[in-house]
Amino acid sequence: MLAQTIPNNDFLAYTLSQTKQIQPPQTFDLPNGIAVDVLDNGVISFTPLNYTKDIILSCAIHGNETAPIEICNQLIDDILSLKIELKQRVMFIIGNPEAILNKSRFIDENLNRLFSGAHSKGQGLTNKERHRAKALEAHVALFFAKNDNKQRIHYDLHTAIKPSKHEKFAIYPYRPGRSYSAEQIVLLGLCGVNTILYHHEPTTTFSYYSSNKFNADAFTVELGKVMPFGENDMQKFAATQTTLTTLLSETNLPQIPFDPTHFNLYKVARSINKHHDDFEFNFSHSTENFTQFTQGELLATEGGQQIRIEHDIEAIVFPNANVPVGQRTVLCLIPAPNEDVT
Ligand SMILES: [Zn+2]
């Protein structure tokens, strides 16, 4: 039964072979009693008899970000082949299988701008990513709806296009009225992610959806630079793989106190939107994420105006001058060592 359902326990290969077909949901049990539900193309959940956490691990929300796909596929293989003794309920999501096949970030539209209902706004459900965002929201809602007394976790795993001064970093979604979780930041640290960016406003990302709608401990986790399949140095992801295995296979996590000096902690000072077509940065395309600028330095020009650094030091992330007028071109960050982390 199992061998026929997912050949060689390779869920990625199975997913990619099924993208053109409507898949009826499938359910089966592993010999150790874990219930397996293949819920949709690229969506699979595993339920042990007893557990304390509902965990979602998603990858390929951007189709060409291969390392997280390889990490998730290995974890799925480890569970199916009983190498991991699963202690927590987990759902894996391979976000955009068609974009994986296309070796591209997306087919029609950036999937990670379409959550929290954005899929149905504006042009409406007019392309594949919009339909997929709506379907993935429903899977997350169903998965988290089963329990309201378990800890909810969602790590949306990515790799960045741009090189970064901090190779691995996590975006902590805006969560007004809720303190940040020391346990989660420590866990990210064990994954090799020692840079945290506290976000400042609601967004249409997948992690914000889980955080805002279901009070999940959710993060967008950037694990390094985009590489083609087979060209990832998986040693660079060993700590992430090991820590995620621990998260899934241990009842209790290691108790390590949060020490802010072990992390680079940033918050958004301002978001610079584009107002004119001639918007241009005053730094080169190859400038790394988290590069720091000092007060008064020229950051960009548009419409005959100069945009300069306002704080003593500001670090930039996600610069992109080629966005439509009205959208964000770059986030400017300042150090945030004293946020409410408990
Ligand atoms: Zn991404």
Domains of the chain: residue spans and CATH:
2-258 (3.40.630.10), 270-334 (2.40.50.630)
pLDDT surpasses 90 at 273: yes
Question: For strand 217-225 and strand 151-160, is the pairing parallel, antiparallel, or unpaired?
Answer: parallel
Residue 1 pLDDT = 46
Q: Over the range 245-283, which residues count as b (16 or more CB within 10 Å of their CB) and which as e?
A: bbbbbeeeeeeeebeeeebbbbbbbeebebeeeebebeb
The active-site residue out of 129, 222, 302, 314 is 222
Give the Å distance between the CA of 50 and the centre of ligand 1. Answer: 33
The C-alpha atoms of residue 192 and residue 292 are separated, in whole angstroms, by 22
Q: How far is the CA of 61 from the centre of ligand 1 (A)?
A: 6
Among the ranges given (1-15, 32-46, 327-341), the one the predictor scored with the smallest mean pLDDT: 1-15
Region of 124 on the Ramachandran plot (φ > 0 left; ψ -120 to 50 alpha; else beta): left
Mean predicted confidence (pLDDT) in 31-49: 96
CA of 295 to the centre of ligand 1 (A): 30
* pLDDT band for position 261 (cuts 50, 70, 90): very high
Confirm whether residue 62 is marked as ligand binding. yes
**Would you place residue 3 in the very low, low, confident or very high pLDDT band (cuts 50, 70, 90)?**
very low
pLDDT number for residue 4: 60
Please count the other Cβ atoms lying within 10 Å of the Cβ belonging to residue 214: 18
Average pLDDT over residues 276-293: 95
Q: For residue 5, what are the contacts with CB-CB under 8 A and spacing of at least 6?
A: 26, 28, 38
**Please, which residues have CB less than 5 A from ligand 1, an ion?**
62, 65, 158
> Was 131 annotated as part of a binding site?
no
Q: In this predicted structure, what is the pLDDT of residue 21?
A: 77
* CA gap 22, 157 in Å, rounded: 26
When the pLDDT of each residue in the chain is averaged and rounded to a whole number, the result is: 94
Q: Measured in angstroms, how far is the CA atom of residue 11 from the centroid of ligand 1? A: 20
Q: How far does the centroid of ligand 1 lie from the alpha carbon of residue 183, in Å?
A: 24
Say whether 201 counts as a known binding-site residue. Answer: no
Examine the pLDDT at 2 and tell me if it is beyond 60.
no
Share of the chain above pLDDT 70, in %: 99
Q: At 295, which amino acid appears?
A: Q
Local structure of 233: helix, strand or coil: coil
Triad 19, 111, 215: Cα angle to 5°: 110
Mean pLDDT of 174-184: 95
Judged against a pLDDT cut of 50, whether residue 78 lies above it is answered with yes
CB 152 within 8 A of CB 214: yes
Q: Which amino acid is at 62?
A: H
- Is residue 70 flagged as an active site residue? no
Mean local confidence (pLDDT), 307-320:
95
